[in-house]
Amino acid sequence: MMRNAPLDNDAPRVVIIGAGIAGITMAMNLRYKLQHNNFVIYEQAGSIGGTWRDNTYPGCGSDVPGHWYSLSTKPNPYWENYYITQPEIRAYWEDIFQTHGLASRTVFNTRVKLVEWDAEKSLHNVTLEDVVSGQIIQTQAEAVIQAIGIFTTPMFPQNLPGREKFTGPLWHSLHWRHDVDLKGKVVGVVGNGCSVAQFLPIIAAEPTTRVINFCRSPQWFTMKGNYRYPEWLKWAFAYVPFLMSAYRSFIMIRHDISWNMYSTNSPTSASVKKRLTSYMRQTVPAKLYDKMVPTYPPGCKRIIVDPNYLAALHQPNVDLNWTAIQEIVEDGVVLKTGDRVPLDVIIFGTGFYLVERDITFRGIGGLTLKQYFESEGGATGYYGTVFPGFPNMFTIVGPNSATGHASIIFIIETQVSYILKLMKPIVDGKAKSLEVTRKATTSYNTWIKKRLKNTIFLDCFSYYRGDSHEGARNVTTFPGMLALYWWITRKPRWNDFKVVGGERWLYQRRKVEMMVKFALMATLVPLTVAIVGYNPSSFIAGLKERLIERWFSRT
């Protein structure tokens, strides 16, 4: 039995996969910037929110300041604190979703299983599944946007057997068991990353709960420095023109210039290491200090904004265990030394698979996106947004577009703006399909890899490397400042794309661009020559060389 999805007019149809922050941002901008309303959001859960719906563990929140972890077009002057919590973040996105009437364009409890390109018809055949009834649904769309997010699939250590043997409650932090009372229990916490750092101090605040934290490698911590906004300042953010925008820009600039710390042998990295070492020396229990301070440079893994995790280590009911776990057994764990540690509860805070998807994307010639990634030796894309062989398919926060030092919201807004420019000829009916060339993708990723070689991201194992210990390749992070990512995506390089059914549109587009460039050069070059006395040809060549050097080598 089939049912139709709510794509209801003759305009090109758009499918958005996921009703998290990326999907909501895409839908809102598609409606108001492109004036296009023939879209539908498919969400496999029963409500919106994505990461901020699913992660409800105690203490969950953002380690990016709230005024920057929100849309530039939808600022919130009433954030209570500098850092915001999961309930606040979810409420913020719920308000945007309802205010902009996106509920009428959203189908919940529906999983996208297959997206298959039909070259003859220039559209995608989309196979859906109703997760409640199991009903299979078929629909079609001229364009598909993958907005699933990166923290959706929980990762358990692959070399740790026996989870199914444990007789007590066992879960991943992504699926927190709020029905389990931890009072009087011995709780084994596996992992010591950002999630664990947030929930461990909360569960350990109950003195009858004994927490044993099993750690694999040390982490860098920095002081959180959270503070509450006074009422007068929230009023000023709401009513003083440009104040909140200026404040948000200040936060962005301050974070973005910290990118230099990720460069190999950067003086900034040495300075940051000294500062973090000092903080940890003052905060970590003296007996744990030697094991707690990493040998790898800060930023190789995401730096943890300390939510009182280090202070919790001073509590008598909290223990750290650095011995590797060999297996999980019925009543606890067995360590590599053979020692048995009895546990009542086991909680994993071991991160997420960032590149795994349970959706099959099939492009030209039947090639799947997974097969394309395998052929490239890992997740690979063009600006982290499009892939050769997959026309009219766009991704938000794709390969090498995330950030380790700043707000993912900025990346999402930047990518959405870029995708809208690419989609405009399609939704306007001026082109049937658009596909990035393999040559352009290869060239871009050669540049990405070259820049990554000069960073510290490969000096340790982290989720930036695609969740695999095999091969040292960062498939997650964009190797540069956010300002650089904005710059290179500010407008499409149409020569990097194949356009079908829009050849005339593309010709006119290039013609206009050439005329604008000619007019600009005709005005500026003679003026510059008159002022500085340069030879025109050498001046233009030198200018081009300096611009390329500035943006693609030094930033």
Report the share of the chain in percent with pLDDT over 70.
90
Higher-pLDDT residue of 7 and 67 is 67
Q: Where are the alpha helices (DSSP H) in 171-213?
A: 194-203
Token digits for 229? Answer: 């906004």
Q: Which of 72-86, 234-248, 294-308 is predicted with the least confidence, judged by mean pLDDT?
A: 294-308
- Average pLDDT over every residue of 463-487: 78
Q: Would you say residue 3 has pLDDT above 50? A: no
* pLDDT, position 475: 86
Asked if pLDDT for residue 549 goes beyond 50, the answer is no
Q: Which residues lie closer than 8 Å to 72 by C-beta, 6 or more apart?
A: 245, 248, 410, 413
How does pLDDT run across 408-437, given as a tens digit for each residue?
Answer: 999 999 999 999 999 999 999 999 999 999
CA torsion through residues 184, 187, 192, 195, sign: negative
Supply φ then ψ for residue 241, to 5 degrees. Answer: -55, 135
- Is-same-fold flag (14-153+354-501; 156-220+263-350)? yes
Q: Is the pLDDT of residue 474 over 70?
A: yes
3-class DSSP state of 456: coil
Cβ–Cβ under 8 Å, residues 311 and 285: no
Fold of 14-153+354-501: FAD/NAD(P)-binding domain (3.50.50)
pLDDT band at 512 (very low <50, low <70, confident <90, very high): confident
Mean pLDDT of the chain: 89
> 199-238, pLDDT tens digit by residue?
999 999 999 999 999 998 999 999 998 999 999 999 999 9
pLDDT of residue 329: 96
Question: What are the extents of the domains in the chain?
Answer: 14-153+354-501, 156-220+263-350, 507-553
CATH H-level, domain 156-220+263-350: superfamily: FAD/NAD(P)-binding domain (3.50.50.60)
- The bridge status of strand 83-85 relative to strand 61-65 is antiparallel
Q: What average pLDDT does the segment 256-267 reach? A: 88
